[in-house]
Amino acid sequence: MKLENDLILRAARGEEVERTPVWLMRQAGRILPEYRAVRSGMRDFRELVETPEKACEVTLQPVDLLGVDAAIIFSDILVIPDAMGLPYAMVPGTGPVFEQTIKSAKDVDALAIPDPETELKYVLDAIRMTKKELNNRVPLIGFAGAPWTIFSYMIEGGGSKTFSKARKFLVTEPVLAHQLLSKITESTINYLNAQIDAGADMVQVFDSWAGVLSPSLYAEFGTPYLKRICDEVTRVPKTLFAKGAYFALKDLASLNCNTIGLDWQMDVQNARELTPGKTLQGNLDPVVLYGDEASIVRQTEAMLQRFGVRRHIANLGHGVYPDTEPEKVKVFIETIKEYKHTEL
């Protein structure tokens, strides 16, 4: 059946749209009291991710409560290393923690290429449920972490400001690093294709830690694996979001993706010049949503003017911060919906 609102898919494909579409990274989460109510009844974050009925419920909330133009399945990028045999825990106040990390060839060899319909069935079930509940109102976005970002957690054991252990591994164990990245990439391709089979209308790859690498390291250990994903996940529009990797925009533009996400520190005009033929996504600074209504409207409209009406999906330059007021988010969304581009 045809989607009632396919603005985001058309914008990604470079087709004409009546207005700029909008969604937010981390839109299903702690900004919404309704999410916190669901979360309060769960043992921990992982239980929510791994319970399809609840993951479906919180995925739908931003569509119903905020009026965004797409849902994004509620999950986590770290389900991939977990399914490969490297479990993680979400520690309150700390974030993800891996009790075991990858240190040797033996560790890499022990990792599996998971069957998504087995080890990741809970995500696929959540997608199937959400598609049914959305009833073709808006598209559903699936996602995965980029191989380098997943690799960085598997080596480092958790979050880090510098990911120096993971970066050291690239320099001291390059052959083994490529072996691990290849395993992650194959797992990710299978996972994204399974999400599409389950009903995802679009997918996004998050390279959250791209910006900690030098251009030369990213060219060797980042971009080639994104290329494999783009070449082997082909049935729906694809978005690449490499946070902090302004140096890689030209290389990303050469890949078989539709949309490139920009963080809030990237210059729109420069990005347009480096990424001809691509749709751009972003890139309002999330802190703007702490301001008053007038400043949110003013800065959102300025963002829309910078991008223009063609080939733009409005979003923040990173995930919405958890202490942002939902009413401020609504101002951002409604400003985009009501904005009239002069060229229309």
Backbone phi and psi for residue 183, each to the nearest 5 degrees, phi listed first: -65, -45
Catalytic residue among 19, 26, 167, 228: 26
Cross-strand pairs, 242: 207
Q: Tokens 């970066």 sit at which residue?
A: 167
Distance, in Å, from the CA atom of 163 to the CA atom of 152, rounded to the nearest integer, reads: 7
- Containing H/E element for 72? strand 71-72
Dihedral in degrees, nearest 10, Cα atoms 208, 209, 210, 215: 170
Specify whether 311 is catalytic.
no
DSSP secondary structure string for all residues of 153-208: HHHHSB--SS-HHHHHHHHH-HHHHHHHHHHHHHHHHHHHHHHHHHT-SEEEEEET
Catalytic residue among 10, 30, 46, 298: 30
Specify whether 310 is catalytic.
no
Expressed in angstroms, the distance from the first to the final Cα of the chain is 29
Q: In this structure, are residues 238 and 8 in contact, taking their beta carbons and an 8 Å threshold?
A: no
Catalytic residue among 6, 69, 76, 82: 76
Catalytic residue among 19, 35, 82, 153: 153
Give residue 292's identity as a one-letter amino acid code. D
What the block records as the tokens of 153 is 């957690």
Specify whether 76 is catalytic.
yes
User: What are the distances in angstroms from CA 304 to CA 119, 168, 300, 313?
Assistant: 41, 40, 6, 10
Distance, in Å, from the CA atom of 126 to the CA atom of 115, rounded to the nearest integer, reads: 16
Reported residue count of the chain is 344
Q: In this structure, are residues 158 and 94 in contact, taking their beta carbons and an 8 Å threshold?
A: yes
Distance, in Å, from the CA atom of 141 to the CA atom of 300, rounded to the nearest integer, reads: 23
In this structure, how many other beta carbons lie within 10 angstroms of the beta carbon of residue 216?
9
Give residue 133's identity as a one-letter amino acid code. E
Would you please indicate which residues are annotated as catalytic (active-site) residues?
A: 26, 30, 39, 76, 153
